[in-house]
Structure 1
């Protein structure tokens, strides 16, 4: 990913507005979405279009790693951003003012229970989303990489 490539923001109006505020303020507005709930911006490469796609997601931490949940509100389908990172796990992340490259992967079955608890402590609705679908909702680990 290069910084001169055009990025297409989420088609959801409120998410697009959140992203715009986050980017325009260099993360000063939008990083804390609700009290105690922080968001990051995740940019993936579209698996079919090849275009950069950006969305805002609630995140947690596990050491130096960032965690996000591919919940899609309990929809039976994975969110598009998750399908994109399965095709190309190299992503760009913005946390506050910090922008960095990362490698994304779904938590392995032995890792997921602890990471799921971490994320449910931040956003309890994740348990309700999982109850709403037969799909196993992934916890995604974003590991910063050099370059």
Structure 2
């Protein structure tokens, strides 16, 4: 069985949830992963996504990059429709409220995220879309 380091998307989420993050919390290049649960804006069904995150005070930061594509990731569109989400970090699953970092907050938060995943800077150069930093506030 391969490590979650080699996994992306649904297989990564499944391994993380099966092991409470024992396999999947630590990912590539020293990054740490949380699972974000959103509700599909059309289906209402729960969706789950493995995302690189950093702690920021009592909050958690994630980046809605989708690799620098012009369209935002579906999870971001879903949380814009319903910002009440759930987050799982290792074995701790909790309700949270998602919001986009304000223009005043974003530069420092972006730098915090690019420090662990420098590709974010490259992703931003690839698109005219302003890639948001999302703040997850524990409810």
TM band (smaller chain): over 0.9
- Which structure is higher in helix share? 2
Deviation at 1:14, TM superposition (A): 3.1
Deviation at 1:119, TM superposition (A): 0.2
Q: How does 1:1-147 map to 2 (within 5 A)?
A: 14-145=8-139
| 3-state secondary structure, aligned to 2:125 | helix
The TM-score with structure 1 as length reference comes to 0.88
Deviation string for 1:110-131 (max 9, x for gaps)? Answer: 1100000000001000000000
Structure 1 segments, 4+ long, off by >3 Å, are none
Q: Give the Cα separation in 2 of the matches to 1:35 and 1:21.
A: 19
Q: Give the Cα separation in 1 of the matches to 2:38 and 2:8.
A: 19
Give the total of aligned pairs.
Answer: 133
Q: Give the Cα separation in 2 of the matches to 1:80 and 1:20.
A: 19
Deviation at 1:143, TM superposition (A): 0.2
Deviation at 1:35, TM superposition (A): 4.4
Aligned-residue RMSD, C-alpha: 1.0
Residue ranges of structure 2 left out of the alignment (5+ in a row): 1-6
Residue ranges of structure 1 left out of the alignment (5+ in a row): 1-12
